[in-house]
Chains A and B, each alone.
Chain A
Amino acid sequence: MTVNENGTLRIFDKQNQKIFDQVFLIENGGDDRDEYDYSPLPQEKLLYSDRVKANVTLKQTPFIATIEISFTLAVPMDLEKRTVKVSNSFVEVELTVTLPNHKPLIKVAIELNNQAKDHRLRLLVPTGIAANCSISDNQFGYIKRDVYDQAMDVWQQEGWDERPDSIYPMLGYVGLSNEAYGVTIATNSTREFEIVGEESDTIAITLFRSIGFLGKENILRRPGRPSGIKLPTPDSQMLGKITLSLVHPFWIDAKS
């Protein structure tokens, strides 16, 4: 495992002889919605941590290896600045990646310092698997879902109230697999994911959403009346420190 200049990981999986690059890239986009759910801005260009310069420290003991990665991601202060593409605020990101010698897994603890409003931060895990469906768990079992909900193409013609985005909850894990191998992410904190990328090969885990209203009207995903009432909720901008003792992916063969 090596750390790229931008703080992402390059992982060589010895079992499957595969390289996973740009693991744990951070994605940032506007969030025009409310406490209920997410909505993107029209014609938005997403921001990524691909060009940041990260500080990296490595520690290795006979039992465990630890990588500490930190960087500051410049983001717009609010929706207004985001529309004119001015990144005048920031989110500080600190990833602590640990590799215990006795377990086939990578642990990630994430500490964030958010100073911006109305946005969403996600962690991207590329899997190299062009997937049709994802597997995530619910109580006592798992659920298989299409990575893209076909109803997103017809919701307006059919007069749906809301666009059914393929953003889903999980209880403990989400994974993609093909005949050869699988990639899974287990979580002990944040529990929302979407499969993204042109090939539907990347697992995006929502780290946090920062919003300012209980319910908002006339947004991209939901035209018309607000969900609930339009009441300001300034605390849900999630300003300040956020700790997620969180996601860890591990690589396994497809059979299990």
Chain B
Amino acid sequence: MAKRAKEYVTPISFYNKIPYNAMKLNSSDIKTPVQYSFLKELNQEVILSTLKKAEQSKGYILRYLNGTDEVKELKLEANMKNAGRTNLNEFKTDEVVIENQQVKLLVKPNEVQTLYFEKN
């Protein structure tokens, strides 16, 4: 319920680029694949809050929370390395085991956790 509500209030926004330029923008050399998966949630128990690039290093920061009153598990799949939980300052507090490109972490009720990882 909480997760669906969160998805509703923060929808994925995108636009469909028309064949000709409505605005003059510098053209980009980056070619993106038609299909690409950055990471995959293997269960629907915790609420993803933020995904961003880390401030000081080349990895990514994922923040998530448990909005229920029971301990829940976060299960993620991504081609990643050097995963670890951090504090809000993005300093690593512990290492996280990656097994078969998956991480599993327990989140306490009302807890917010921050995960750092790098892409392979």
Contact = CB atoms under 8 A, between A and B. Distances in A.
B8 A140 contact: no
Interface of B: 1-2, 4-6, 8-9, 65-69, 109-112
Contacts, number: 46
A249 to B, nearest CB: 11
8 contacts: A105-B8, A137-B5, A140-B66, A172-B9, A175-B1, A184-B4, A186-B4, A186-B9
Contacts of A141: 67-69, 109-110
Contacts of B65: 140
Interface of A: 105, 135, 137, 140-142, 172-173, 175, 182, 184, 186-188, 248, 250, 252, 256
A256 B8 CA distance: 16
A184 B1 contact: yes
Contacts of B5: 137, 172-173, 184, 186
Nearest to B65: A140
A142 B9 contact: no
A186 B112 contact: no
Given A141-B67, A172-B9, A250 B112 contact: no
Contacts of A252: 1, 4
B67 A182 contact: no
B67 to A, nearest CB: 5
